[in-house]
Amino acid sequence: MVPLKVLIFSALFFASATSSDEPYTNRELLDAIAEKHKVFAKKRFFFLQETLDGVKDKSDLEKLEAVNNFFNEVRYGSDMKVYGQKDYWATPWEFLGNDMGDCEDYVISKYFALKYLNVDYKKLFFTYVRSTQFKEPHMVLTYFETPKSEPLILDNNNRKIFPASQRTDLTPIYNFNGDILDEVGKKNEKSHKKWDELKLNMQRKKI
């Protein structure tokens, strides 16, 4: 049985969400998440909505900090441990529902939360790097205020946001933005397999 305080919280959540903008995760999807991952997973999405609502009228930097801090509280877990696959890009609902994921999953969830907050997606990039500390490939989310600006790094390993010049432990490999690639792809037929799989899973509301 769902505790009374959770039901009250749920009612307040939907009352506030439906009175203004659409919620990040709708009622039907939340119910499905609760059924699969239990009520504690559903509560994580309540707290996410509370976090997003708290900064929706703030600056980009304040939005970056709030989203980065929220998702960095999720536990790290390899794709093999969580999904039984070597390389899997989880939807934000899978990541937060499982309360565990790897570096790509942090980046994906931060990216879509920031898009929800109307941060211009063309300023955000999935950035492949090599970590000198962990001696392995890694992914972070980067934010470019302008195309020529020094990017800010949102990383699950180092929780504070720093300009790229202060992250001497990371060697950049390349930047990627699937939404931009999709726009270009309409003309040039470019694609990215993992991004395409992620889009399909998001369309299916995979949890």
Residues in the chain, pLDDT under 70: 1-20, 185-191
What CATH number has the domain bearing residue 97?
3.10.620.30
- Total structural domains in the chain? 1
Domain boundaries, position 137: 4-203
User: What are the tokens at 104?
Assistant: 């790509």
Give the tens place of pLDDT for each residue, 104-151: 999 999 999 999 999 999 999 999 999 988 888 899 999 999 999 999
> 48, 38, 53: which is closest to 74 by C-alpha?
48
- Contacts of residue 54, defined as CB under 8 A and 6 or more positions apart, other chains included, come to 66
For residue 137, the cross-strand partners are 130
Q: Work out the number of other CB atoms within 10 angstroms of the CB of residue 180.
A: 14
For residue 76, the cross-strand partners are 101
Residue 24's identity, in one-letter code, is: Y
CA 158 to chain centre: 16
